[in-house]
Amino acid sequence: MIGSEPPTPTGKARARLRRSRPSVSIRKRLTSGRAVMRHMGQSLVKAMEMALKAGPPEAAELVACECVVEAETKDHLNWELIELASKALKGDEARALKDAYEQVEEQEDEHLYHTTGWCRELWIASLGLPAVLPPPEEEKEFKTAIGAARAKQARKDML
Ligand SMILES: [Fe+2]
């Protein structure tokens, strides 16, 4: 259903990120915040497994879509924070974060708008109402908030 690959920094941005990475001891430290986020991620997986086991498949698909929208919403926020951090830092760290953000910004916007569009249309279909599948966000390849809003408004013309 939702087939986008997660974005990854490439080339110079990846090299800069590698140079500016915190030490292994910092990276491996399980803070309370990281523990909570890990639990939330595992909970999304558990929710999808429960829905798949309980069925029917259409309900499991809706649960999976909800979980992906949750994850993509957090992903989107994280990249916004990375952009903000890049503006607050200087030197290699700032450049590494800025390069990484610039490489994934458009893809991350697309992930959020497309998954939200899929979720909305699958819910509409589940209510027995005419749905646009694939959603307008996917068909028209909008990659901005304004584009996503236009896609949502254009859905009536696509029914
Ligand atoms: Fe994403």
117, 151 contact by CB (below 8 A): yes
The answer to whether position 108 is within a domain reads yes
| Exposed / middle / buried, residue 112 (Cβ in 10 Å: 0-12, 13-18, 19+) | buried
Domain that holds residue 65: 11-158
Joined tokens for residue 30: 């399980």
CA–CA dist 21, 43 (Å, integer): 28
d(CA 13, CA 23): 18
DSSP state of 157: G
- Residue in the block written with tokens 């800069």: 16
Measured in Å, residue 80 CA sits from the centre of ligand 1 at: 12
Q: Is the pLDDT of residue 70 over 60?
A: yes
Report, as an integer, the average pLDDT of 81-87.
93
Tell me, yes or no, whether 137 lies in a domain.
Answer: yes
Query: 92 lies in a domain?
Result: yes
| Cα 158 to ligand 1 centre (Å) | 26
> 137, 117 in Cβ contact below 8 A?
yes
* Residue 5 resides in a domain: no
CA 4 to centroid of ligand 1, rounded, Å? 8
CA of 8 to the centre of ligand 1 (A): 10
Q: What is the pLDDT of residues 39-49, one digit of tens each?
A: 999 999 999 99
The CA 92 to ligand 1 mean position distance, Å, reads 25
Mean pLDDT over each residue of the chain, to the nearest integer: 85
> How far is ligand 1, taken at its centre, from the CA of residue 6, in Å?
6
Radius of gyration of the chain measured on its C-alpha atoms? 18
State percent of the chain over pLDDT 70.
Answer: 82
Q: Are 66 and 43 in contact (CB under 8 A)?
A: no
108 C-alpha to ligand 1 centroid (Å): 5
Q: What is the pTM of this model?
A: 0.77
5 pLDDT higher than 50: no
- Give the total number of structural domains in the chain: 1
Residue 77 C-alpha to ligand 1 middle, in angstroms? 10
Ligand 1 centroid – CA 103 distance (Å): 12
- Please, are residues 4 and 110 in contact by the beta-carbon 8 Å criterion? yes
Torsion on CA atoms 11, 84, 6, 145, rounded to nearest 10: -120
In a domain, 103, yes or no: yes
Residue 116 lies in a domain: yes
DSSP conformation class of 103? H
**Residue 3 forms part of a structural domain:** no
For residue 40, the CA-to-ligand 1 centroid distance in Å is 16
- Which of the pair, 107 or 129, is modelled with greater confidence? 129
More confident residue, 95 or 154: 95
Instruction: Classify residue 42: in a domain, yes or no.
Output: yes
CA of 23 to the centre of ligand 1 (A): 26
Q: 144 to each of 13, 17, 63, 109, 149, how far by Cα in Å? A: 23, 26, 25, 6, 9
